[in-house]
């Protein structure tokens, strides 16, 4: 999808001429970091000047509050709750006051919160009288053994907990009425709306890394305009609209909730980091631009190292980011939807693959040095088609290669201490890489040489499919 490139940056801290979109672009690693969103949808042009101004002001106020709390050592979970409360109280956004309405003109509110330190989480859906649904979600987390309460049961729990109650009319601002009047059917995904009708829905979310090293995330919404009474979106679904796990990331989404639920968006990002060793930016980019269709929504996320990623595949997303290095920025739209440009993406994929292969080869050397030839063989393709060539011979197949190693190096003494160095990487395709390097074996009679490996990315990970090894001194040169 080609998004019109209008970079709408409101530089709040004048010291920053150029926006810092990724944590790693600063030299210092932040000790705390926070990102917020106020919904994905329309571009600033579609929103108009007044609405853009109000959104920017609302985001700035909430982000400043979050920044100040984190700078004073507040916890991630407290910050998420209090920042979202500020956004819920602001009628500009579709959460708390100002929520969009159901088909029959009522506000039914959804929210969730998650503590990455404990994986504790709480959520409410379809609540009608709670002033700040995010605080009710937190009480579900702390005061019950459950994760999600819905409808009348959630309203009742809210009264029991004595959180501030409001008359349902509190949520109905002029804006929510106008949204109902202006927008088409509840079932229409954003991409089916015409330019004029296009919604900037205004769900709110917050993700935080605090100075104690804990992550947390939260999301709050009125849902989608003209939704069927009883409809629940992704915002209160842990793993879809919200997710946080220490060591990985904290994520909050906004967009067509049904798609976020189908694709388990927030958890998918964390899972890609956990199981596929992806960094936060490439995991978010994969979900936003490969898995989801265009014009579905956006995501804000922060990693354990304080890297912040903001991305949307809609024309705009209201969002902001701040961290302990002084970063402070508000956007209503990001260039290229916040995704890295193609060259950056290729470079970062190459970098990741090289790092992954280098780690595997290092592990291989460690296994060798522990005297474990079978573990050393893990990185070879377990196939009859594996080829290993050295000194003019070719050994074919995994089993034969294993036997060759075992007979050449029968004892720990013969195995010695292996090191690999001078790696050079040449990409042969998206899923194939050639690696050159030097091997050295410290032992009574030291040995060494060059190797050329061809690796393929298989479902089980990168594997050597061909290994050509030579030893020096080269006999032909003597």
Q: Which residue numbers are catalytic?
A: 203
314 part of the interface to ligand ASP, by CB under 6 A: no
Q: How far apart are CA 58 and CA 262, in angstroms?
A: 31
The residue range among 45-53, 130-138, 231-239, 332-340 that interacts with ligand ASP, by the rule CB under 6 A, is 231-239
38 part of the interface to ligand ASP, by CB under 6 A: no
Least distance in angstroms from the C-beta of 62 to ligand ASP: 16
108 part of the interface to ligand ASP, by CB under 6 A: no
98 part of the interface to ligand ASP, by CB under 6 A: no
> Which one, 66 or 255, has the nearer CB to ligand ASP?
255
Element at 320 (helix H, strand E)? strand 316-323
> Which one, 95 or 377, has the nearer CB to ligand ASP?
95
102 part of the interface to ligand ASP, by CB under 6 A: no
User: Of 130, 158, 224, 314, which one interacts with ligand ASP (CB under 6 A)?
Assistant: 224
Determine contact, residues 9/1, Cβ cutoff 8 Å.
Answer: no
> Which one, 79 or 318, has the nearer CB to ligand ASP?
318
> Which one, 40 or 74, has the nearer CB to ligand ASP?
40
Beta-carbon contacts of 254 under 8 Å, excluding residues fewer than 6 positions away, are 37, 39, 40, 201, 203, 205, 219, 221, 241, 297, 298, 299, 317
Least distance in angstroms from the C-beta of 29 to ligand ASP: 31
Which residue, among 204, 205, 202, 206, has the nearest Cα to 67 in the 3D structure? Answer: 206
> Which one, 288 or 357, has the nearer CB to ligand ASP?
288
Give the binding-site size for ligand ASP (rule: CB under 6 A): 13
* Dihedral sign from CA coordinates of 405, 407, 412, 415: negative
Least distance in angstroms from the C-beta of 240 to ligand ASP: 9
The residue range among 24-32, 228-236, 380-388, 409-417 that interacts with ligand ASP, by the rule CB under 6 A, is 228-236
The residue range among 48-56, 78-86, 244-252, 254-262 that interacts with ligand ASP, by the rule CB under 6 A, is 254-262
Q: How far apart are CA 90 and CA 92, in angstroms?
A: 5
> Which one, 56 or 254, has the nearer CB to ligand ASP?
254
Other residues' Cβ atoms within 10 Å of the Cβ of residue 374 = 10
315 part of the interface to ligand ASP, by CB under 6 A: no
223 part of the interface to ligand ASP, by CB under 6 A: yes
364 part of the interface to ligand ASP, by CB under 6 A: no
Parallel/antiparallel/unpaired status of strands 8-11 and 328-333: antiparallel
> Which one, 234 or 353, has the nearer CB to ligand ASP?
234
Other residues' Cβ atoms within 10 Å of the Cβ of residue 387 = 18
For ligand ASP, the binding residues in 163-222 under the rule CB under 6 A are: 201, 203, 221
User: Of 257, 315, 337, 340, which one interacts with ligand ASP (CB under 6 A)?
Assistant: 257
> What is the number of H-type helices and E-type strands within the chain?
13, 19
The SS3 of residue 27 is coil
For ligand ASP, the binding residues in 395-424 under the rule CB under 6 A are: none
Q: How far apart are CA 21 and CA 446, in angstroms?
A: 50
Q: How far apart are CA 370 and CA 357, in angstroms?
A: 20
The residue range among 2-10, 23-31, 227-235, 363-371 that interacts with ligand ASP, by the rule CB under 6 A, is 227-235
Buried b vs exposed e over 70-94: b needs ≥16 C-beta within 10 Å? beeebbbbebbbbbbbbbbbbbbbb
Least distance in angstroms from the C-beta of 403 to ligand ASP: 57
Determine contact, residues 14/326, Cβ cutoff 8 Å.
Answer: no
Alpha helices in 172-256 (DSSP H): 174-182
User: Of 30, 44, 91, 255, which one interacts with ligand ASP (CB under 6 A)?
Assistant: 255
Least distance in angstroms from the C-beta of 203 to ligand ASP: 3
User: Of 233, 306, 315, 316, which one interacts with ligand ASP (CB under 6 A)?
Assistant: 233
Least distance in angstroms from the C-beta of 259 to ligand ASP: 9
Which residue, among 126, 82, 310, 366, has the nearest Cα to 228 in the 3D structure? Answer: 126
DSSP character at residue 31: S
39 part of the interface to ligand ASP, by CB under 6 A: yes
Q: How far apart are CA 67 and CA 204, in angstroms?
A: 17
42 part of the interface to ligand ASP, by CB under 6 A: no
Beta-carbon contacts of 69 under 8 Å, excluding residues fewer than 6 positions away, are 78, 79, 82
User: Of 254, 304, 318, 364, which one interacts with ligand ASP (CB under 6 A)?
Assistant: 254
Q: How far apart are CA 356 and CA 112, in angstroms?
A: 35
The residues of the shown chain that bind ligand ASP, judged by CB under 6 A, are 39, 201, 203, 221, 223-224, 233-235, 241, 254-255, 257
């Amino acid at each position: 999808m080609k998004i019109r490139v209008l970079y709408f940056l409101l530089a709040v801290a004048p010291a920053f001429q150029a926006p810092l979109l990724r944590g790693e672009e600063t030299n210092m690693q932040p000790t705390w970091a926070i990102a917020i969103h106020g919904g994905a949808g329309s571009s600033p042009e579609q929103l108009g000047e007044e609405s853009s101004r109000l959104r920017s002001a609302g985001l700035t106020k909430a982000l400043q509050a979050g920044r100040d709390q984190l700078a004073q050592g507040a916890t991630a979970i407290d910050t998420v709750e209090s920042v979202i409360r500020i956004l819920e109280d602001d009628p500009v956004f579709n959460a708390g006051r100002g929520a969009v309405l159901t088909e029959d003109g009522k506000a039914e509110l959804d929210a969730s919160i998650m503590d990455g330190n404990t994986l504790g989480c709480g959520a409410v859906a379809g609540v009608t009288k709670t002033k700040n649904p995010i605080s009710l979600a937190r009480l579900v987390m702390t005061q019950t053994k459950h994760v999600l309460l819905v409808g009348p049961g959630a309203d009742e729990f809210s009264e029991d907990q004595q959180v501030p109650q409001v008359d349902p009319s509190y949520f109905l601002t002029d804006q929510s009425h106008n949204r109902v009047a202006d927008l088409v059917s509840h079932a229409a995904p954003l991409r089916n709306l015409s330019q004029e009708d296009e919604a900037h829905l205004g769900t709110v979310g917050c993700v935080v890394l605090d100075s104690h090293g804990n992550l947390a995330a939260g999301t709050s919404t009125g849902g989608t305009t003209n939704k069927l009474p009883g409809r629940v979106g992704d915002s209160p679904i842990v793993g879809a609209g919200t997710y946080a796990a220490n060591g990985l990331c904290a994520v909050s989404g906004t967009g067509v909730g049904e798609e976020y639920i189908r694709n388990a968006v927030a958890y998918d990002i964390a899972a890609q980091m956990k199981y596929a060793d992806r960094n936060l930016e490439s995991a978010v980019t994969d979900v936003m631009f490969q898995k989801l269709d265009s014009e579905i929504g956006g995501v804000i996320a922060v990693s354990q190292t304080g890297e912040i990623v903001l991305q949307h595949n809609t024309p705009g997303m209201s969002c902001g980011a701040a961290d302990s290095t002084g970063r402070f920025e508000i956007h209503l739209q990001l260039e290229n939807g916040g995704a890295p440009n193609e060259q950056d993406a290729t470079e970062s994929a190459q970098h990741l693959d090289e790092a992954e292969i280098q780690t595997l080869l290092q592990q291989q050397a460690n296994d060798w040095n522990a005297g474990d030839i079978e573990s050393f063989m893990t990185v070879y393709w377990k196939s009859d088609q594996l080829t290993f060539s050295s000194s003019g011979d070719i050994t074919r197949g995994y089993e034969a290669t294993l036997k060759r190693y075992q007979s050449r190096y029968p004892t720990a003494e013969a195995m010695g201490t292996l090191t690999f160095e001078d790696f050079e990487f040449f990409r042969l395709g998206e899923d194939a890489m050639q690696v050159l390097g030097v091997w050295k074996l410290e032992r009574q009679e030291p040995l060494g040489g060059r190797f050329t490996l061809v690796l393929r990315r298989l479902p089980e990970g990168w594997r050597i499919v061909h290994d050509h090894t030579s030893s020096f001194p080269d006999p032909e040169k003597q």
